[in-house]
Structure 1
Amino acid sequence: MKDENSVTADTRLNDVNHGLDLTVTDNFDWRSKVIGVNVDGTPLITGQYTLST
């Protein structure tokens, strides 16, 4: 991943009752290479996360 890509953490309402948003500057090449999302080493299944622009 190139240095210009970084993730900005969601710091509000981080609990099981609220969604979590991670913001990145959109980059198709970077986004197209995301093959999954893990939380504490546990992979999330389809429907537990959304990638959007």
Structure 2
Amino acid sequence: MCRAALGGDANMEKAQAVNDGILYLMIIPYLLVAVIGFLIYRMRKNKQKN
């Protein structure tokens, strides 16, 4: 359905907007995992110091 709605040269702006939205939705989970991983790493490092 998305392909049919965005197909053709006339809808290039809409297609680019959809692609940007998909990237935005993909980046958020990766950032959350990275932040949580960094916090766990920092907590373990501080535990080993003590």
Taking structure 1 as the reference length, what is the TM-score of the superposition? 0.22
**Greater relative contact order: 1 or 2 (C-alpha under 8 angstroms, separation 6 or more)?**
1
- Larger C-alpha radius of gyration, 1 or 2? 2
Q: Which one has the bigger helix percentage?
A: 2
